[in-house]
Structure 1
């Protein structure tokens, strides 16, 4: 009975299930039919594919550091696993540029970005990461892990892995978007230019990859970009900015060049790192000089003192667009550095070459990071620069481009006429002889090559020679006008009419030989940078007391020894000669310009530049007041680093300024010039020039240095004495009962404006740079003597003017004094 009952239940269950399944099949029949009829799904487009499906038969391949494949409009990098994680230097440059972009200081060849990158695999992606060597530590030390996790590297771009090559030794990625979209870090348009030109976006329909070329150690990419911009620098109606960028990526040496530790007593551009693995009780900042890697082909001969060629010389190519008549001077300027390199033991260390023709080398490109080029830029900008690209791990210079702007020749012609015309008859013309223009250009190129070799400006080099030596023909022919080509000493403005056989143009000097030897001499027995220090220090000590080997930083604004555009060891005497010559030039300027050309354009241009030359001569004397000599030393040397200019020199400087700046300079207001170049603005030209240096004298940092000097020695020129001397000189008419001319009235009002500023302003609030190495410095102006001194000077002045306004003076002078008194009242007693 139980068996029959169990069988009935099972049959019932089977029937019910079958019936349900049939109903379900009927219900789903239509859907099932549709699924069967659907085509197979496509593969995930991001999935890793077969190599042959990515690098197809249509691919055009270029072999080098990476295999570069072009498949129609797609660009692929085939990156060997062996180069993943290796350091590469990425440099972005403008290859072609629209007129006016960046205000004239951007050009074809301008570098817009430089950083170390490396390629890294993460799961099914390849990451392009930016790498910094600012913070480092020995990888064998535990702290290196902390350096790593506290300096996480930014990802510039992430790529999906498209395929692996046939033997799985390389990975393929698509880089098309990296180079065809607006990746701001490499775009060439920084944020401030985007804002200035009101850039909206990159237009993809007018932007494309021009070329991608792979070489054994580098890859070069050219991109054409067009941006929509409301206010472009040129072609305004187009509302577009188009430029061509070049992206260079070069594999850095596996083993960095041995670095050379910098010494502030010898001028070099530098790279710095914070070494957290140092035994010092801090993150130890280590600074290395920037230099090319030069090693002798024959080390034994080099060790014997013979001149030896380097394994790899420094080669500069001339831009194919360089005017023919200038090419020889550019080559001479480059190879002028061969002699200093011979002092360091190398011959033919630096060579100038013509760029190869397309037939000789179709791959040659000035933007290719393998080549250093003197770029000749068709631009109205008046300048020349010598930037370089270096390995941040060691300071090794990899490549550099010298940039010469076409109109810079005009600057040198004008300065030649203005600064040497009194003593140099051949400069008294707008048609300067070609040989003389060529010599000037040669020296400018040599100066810029110096930058590209690692040398900054040495502003102390022109202070090495006695002022009277510049009037000695034999001395100037031998020594030029500065101890280094790296000074901003352009012309001999000291030589006077009648002086004979004078060299007026700068040239290489003894400091250049010394600095090249210090930075480039090969020291094979030194296995670490620290091993070199004792030898390098010895070389400095040997030259320490000779001014021709002194280095003076451009960045300090307080040292009379290190002044831009100055020559000679006495600014007062040098500027006296300079102003005397300039008066001669001013009197003859129409005869040398407009009388020859029958128009006033050159006269106007040169008169404007004449004011600039005069301004520089004045500035050199101003620096004496509150000046501090900086002679960089190590503790093992005798003497101190900072010494205030003595009192008598400062007083003499103040007297010179009163006579040659603040007294009305009628020779600068020559009617024969002014009434032929403009209808107005005559007195304002003079006032703005005078007030510039008046404001410089009456500045927080200068007065602060004078107050500081009192804490060192009570016999130094005090802030009170300086302020009193300024007041007495500027308001001398009030003491003598004389009328005040329009130039002096304007200057006196400028004085009151500046005193008001000092009385009410809080002064600078932040320090920039390192203590002792910058200006202005910071102190609390409210707790210092400044406001007390200013109040005292204004009170004294008001008292003098109250008496003077009642004297026998003309009406305008009376009104002027009444106005000044009212302004002082409002300032000292605002209620």
Structure 2
């Protein structure tokens, strides 16, 4: 009975527990259901609010559909970014679109590109933000290699901006961000214009605003007006710049790069390559070039050698601001390159045209259009930069800046260099036809840069000087050098009796060869590297295909700016003959009744500048070295000293034409009417002949006895005597030649003229100053800088010389080189001569000797007299 009672009680207890538990479970389930319903209501409410906010934005504002949909509500600007565009790579390109007077005067003009960088957008759903990052796309490694993980960590992206996600679109496939701050001057992340153009500082956001927006399938265009304050050694003034930011969607797969070869001149992008199989990182240069490819259906025909049209031609638009009389000449200069691209297998590869009504979206600042922009500016120049995809070297767009006053340079060059042989090039103003042909040449040169071509300053060395006097040769070769990318201006060598008529630079054989090398398309089965190397090797011994790098301080005299032919002395002597004819005609060529002698003075100083240029062309042969870009197996020497005979001839030329100042140039009848005139910010600046002659002579002597030049001569002497046993032109040979001319009157016991005394003072001062500099502490004193009084006008001054100069170190520890002994020895030699001759000549000559003796003794720390 007890057991039955116990079992009964257990059952009652379990039933009670069950009865108590059931309501709790049911209530819990009901609560969960209710909570789920609440969350659903909340979600529906959030989505409704989200949809409402997106719809309100669209309803209140305007929307421009494209790469990003741009929503504008009054002054607020939003980007709607599709999810598919996150993590894609974009190129950010910033340009000037409007400039005030103060910036124009600094050489900054509409169309100039001042900042580019790769960016990517990342969506952060947790923080509800969009991050913008940038990186340098200059490093690569195979995806499957172990080192790739290290590459990712050691060359990572950097965050430059963040945006709050304002809302999503109705189907949640895009997010909306407000972007005012990156375009109205509040932030510099997307556009740091003032620091990039050298003004520093920030935009004043209350005086800056977004001016206009456009959206297209592959790019966004945003225009802004940004204001800052600027002071240039004067009162602070407001500066407002019109700027345009382009955001361009880059292809997922970059163009296949083509690696550079230093034997041919292309601009490049540096790239580093890492791989597990390496024992060292590989650095390569990618040439910059357009993506020029045959259409798919034409590939076989192309590979068989047939001319085909490219899939996408290169198109240039002429700025509508260009004066009408010059437009066709500029277009012709572009189209002159057709023959070069035909050599590469493409017909109709380049097109230049004026925008028409069909070009509805045409905008100079839009990167979809390559434009030759005409800038109203006093600057006398032109340049041809490009926008490049740094991942591959692909040129995306080109911007040629054409400053209005470039015609002043053309007028000066033609007048001085061709006036003696071409009557059309003599007046104060040329005919439109004559100026137009010059504009065509500049157009071709600058367009060449936008194809990726560097200057080829060595091209003109290919032609024998005498051939430039041949009417038949110049007509056949079409110009002054095998490359229009040289600074081989006009034919100053040809004499009036030669009857040469083709005197303007033209696109030449080197240009066609370079374009073929850079743009020929190769099929998947071709060994591209082998074919490219073969193309260079085939022409390696022909001077017409020689590429000479642009140089800062000239080492290789073959690669000089503005020179002609393979013998600088002979070319300059012919040039001087023509220059004398110019000087004799300056007054008559510039005659304009009742006008001032301004044009006369300007032409006069231009002639003196040409004389100065000839002096430097010749001088750079002394201590010069031919720098050959060599490879294993080509049998060439990398460094070849300029032959001793040429160096001696150059020294003799300088003795005749600079150590002895030419009377016909500096002391003539022109001075009865005007001094040489040079424009300056405060008006024409006059130079007296004695002052100008003294300064220009000093300039040549200083550079002639520069440490670098004398060290090269020492190196050449050491190498030649030990290796080749050839004749050597030594430092002492140079001093002897110049010394004998400078002190000829002293040696002969003559009374010296003012000009002879001037030359001796210049010579002694150069040696004293340059010797003292060797022993100065470089951290407390600065080296002497020679003022470049006369500079002939140049083009393409935007180019970065650091990428074009052979860096050869010859200047370490100059104090303990032979040049200190040689310079001090020459000073002592002069001192002993002056002491011997100090009582000869007239009183002015004796005073002069007394002065020089004291200077030298002080320099040599010699107190005896």
| TM-score, normalisation: structure 1 | 0.89
3-state secondary structure, aligned to 1:261: coil
C-alpha distance in 2 between matches for 1:765 and 1:510: 47
Residue 749 of structure 1 pairs with residue 761 of structure 2: yes
Which of 384, 387, 392 in structure 2 is aligned with 1:386?
384
The residue that corresponds to 2:225 in the other structure is 224
8 Å CA contact 2:208, 2:226 repeated in 1? yes
The residue that corresponds to 1:91 in the other structure is 93
8 Å CA contact 1:129, 1:157 repeated in 2? yes
Q: For each residue in 1:554-579, what CA deviation from the matched residue of structure 2 results, as whole angstroms up to 9, or x when unmatched?
A: 12611121110011111010000001
How far off is 1:193 after superposition? 3.3
How far off is 1:597 after superposition? 6.4
Q: For each residue in 1:40-80, what CA deviation from the matched residue of structure 2 results, as whole angstroms up to 9, or x when unmatched?
A: xxx99xx9996427724112111111111101111111111
Residue 250 of structure 1 pairs with residue 282 of structure 2: no
Which of 279, 286, 289 in structure 2 is aligned with 1:288?
286
8 Å CA contact 1:54, 1:163 repeated in 2? no
Please list every run of at least 4 consecutive aligned residues from structure 1 whose deviation after the TM superposition is greater than 4 angstroms: 47-51, 763-766, 768-772
3-state secondary structure, aligned to 1:437: helix
The residue that corresponds to 2:647 in the other structure is 650
The residue that corresponds to 1:639 in the other structure is 636
C-alpha distance in 2 between matches for 1:776 and 1:726: 27
Pair 639,52 (structure 1): closer, same or farther in 2 beyond 3 Å? closer
C-alpha distance in 2 between matches for 1:724 and 1:284: 50
3-state secondary structure, aligned to 1:202: coil
The residue that corresponds to 1:465 in the other structure is 463
8 Å CA contact 2:320, 2:355 repeated in 1? yes
The residue that corresponds to 1:39 in the other structure is none
8 Å CA contact 1:318, 1:352 repeated in 2? yes
The residue that corresponds to 1:347 in the other structure is 347
Q: For each residue in 1:297-351, what CA deviation from the matched residue of structure 2 results, as whole angstroms up to 9, or x when unmatched?
A: 2112212211100000000000001111111101100111111000111000000
The residue that corresponds to 1:825 in the other structure is 857
Which of 660, 667, 671 in structure 2 is aligned with 1:663?
660
8 Å CA contact 1:371, 1:399 repeated in 2? yes
C-alpha distance in 2 between matches for 1:606 and 1:278: 64
Pair 753,266 (structure 1): closer, same or farther in 2 beyond 3 Å? same
The residue that corresponds to 2:81 in the other structure is 79
Residue 685 of structure 1 pairs with residue 703 of structure 2: no
How far off is 1:439 after superposition? 0.9
The residue that corresponds to 1:24 in the other structure is none
8 Å CA contact 2:316, 2:371 repeated in 1? yes
Pair 489,220 (structure 1): closer, same or farther in 2 beyond 3 Å? same
Which of 194, 198, 218 in structure 2 is aligned with 1:189?
194
How far off is 1:773 after superposition? 1.7
Which of 145, 150, 167 in structure 1 is aligned with 2:171?
167
The residue that corresponds to 2:830 in the other structure is 797
Q: For each residue in 1:611-666, what CA deviation from the matched residue of structure 2 results, as whole angstroms up to 9, or x when unmatched?
A: 22111111110110000112212112012121001111101110110101110211
C-alpha distance in 2 between matches for 1:686 and 1:395: 48
8 Å CA contact 1:109, 1:401 repeated in 2? yes
8 Å CA contact 1:301, 1:308 repeated in 2? yes
The residue that corresponds to 2:265 in the other structure is 267
The residue that corresponds to 2:610 in the other structure is 613
C-alpha distance in 2 between matches for 1:631 and 1:610: 34
The residue that corresponds to 2:508 in the other structure is 509
8 Å CA contact 1:119, 1:127 repeated in 2? yes
Which of 807, 811, 816 in structure 1 is aligned with 2:848?
816
Which of 553, 564, 567 in structure 2 is aligned with 1:567?
564
Pair 167,680 (structure 1): closer, same or farther in 2 beyond 3 Å? closer
The residue that corresponds to 1:498 in the other structure is 497
The residue that corresponds to 1:326 in the other structure is 326
3-state secondary structure, aligned to 1:456: coil
How far off is 1:237 after superposition? 7.6
The residue that corresponds to 1:19 in the other structure is none
Q: What is the correspondence of 1:106-121 to structure 2 with a 5 Å cutoff? A: 106-121=108-123
Q: Higher mean Cα deviation, 442-451 or 109-118?
A: 109-118
C-alpha distance in 1 between matches for 2:454 and 2:438: 20
8 Å CA contact 2:415, 2:426 repeated in 1? yes
3-state secondary structure, aligned to 2:161: strand
Which of 528, 542, 546 in structure 2 is aligned with 1:550?
546
Which of 432, 440, 454 in structure 2 is aligned with 1:442?
440
3-state secondary structure, aligned to 2:150: helix
Q: For each residue in 1:136-188, what CA deviation from the matched residue of structure 2 results, as whole angstroms up to 9, or x when unmatched?
A: 32333222222232233332221112122222221211100111125446232
Pair 744,254 (structure 1): closer, same or farther in 2 beyond 3 Å? farther
C-alpha distance in 2 between matches for 1:372 and 1:698: 47
The residue that corresponds to 2:137 in the other structure is 133
Which of 697, 710, 718 in structure 1 is aligned with 2:704?
697
Pair 392,777 (structure 1): closer, same or farther in 2 beyond 3 Å? farther
Pair 331,175 (structure 1): closer, same or farther in 2 beyond 3 Å? same
Q: For each residue in 1:113-136, what CA deviation from the matched residue of structure 2 results, as whole angstroms up to 9, or x when unmatched?
A: 111111123442212222202333
Which of 383, 398, 401 in structure 2 is aligned with 1:400?
398
C-alpha distance in 2 between matches for 1:278 and 1:709: 44
8 Å CA contact 2:482, 2:509 repeated in 1? yes
Pair 778,160 (structure 1): closer, same or farther in 2 beyond 3 Å? farther
The residue that corresponds to 2:483 in the other structure is 484
Pair 412,191 (structure 1): closer, same or farther in 2 beyond 3 Å? closer
C-alpha distance in 2 between matches for 1:410 and 1:770: 29
3-state secondary structure, aligned to 1:498: helix
Residue 724 of structure 1 pairs with residue 739 of structure 2: no
C-alpha distance in 2 between matches for 1:783 and 1:539: 46
C-alpha distance in 2 between matches for 1:218 and 1:750: 61
The residue that corresponds to 2:162 in the other structure is 158
Pair 506,771 (structure 1): closer, same or farther in 2 beyond 3 Å? closer
8 Å CA contact 1:92, 1:246 repeated in 2? yes
Q: For each residue in 1:74-99, what CA deviation from the matched residue of structure 2 results, as whole angstroms up to 9, or x when unmatched?
A: 11111112111211111110001112
| TM-score, normalisation: structure 2 | 0.86
8 Å CA contact 1:48, 1:161 repeated in 2? no
C-alpha distance in 2 between matches for 1:115 and 1:429: 48
The residue that corresponds to 2:207 in the other structure is 206
8 Å CA contact 1:511, 1:548 repeated in 2? yes
Residue 532 of structure 1 pairs with residue 565 of structure 2: no
C-alpha distance in 1 between matches for 2:672 and 2:583: 14
Alignment length, in residue pairs? 773
3-state secondary structure, aligned to 2:148: helix
8 Å CA contact 2:51, 2:170 repeated in 1? no
C-alpha distance in 1 between matches for 2:367 and 2:85: 19
Pair 212,245 (structure 1): closer, same or farther in 2 beyond 3 Å? same
3-state secondary structure, aligned to 1:402: strand
C-alpha distance in 1 between matches for 2:212 and 2:197: 28
Which of 772, 777, 802 in structure 2 is aligned with 1:760?
772
Residue 521 of structure 1 pairs with residue 517 of structure 2: no
C-alpha distance in 2 between matches for 1:742 and 1:127: 74
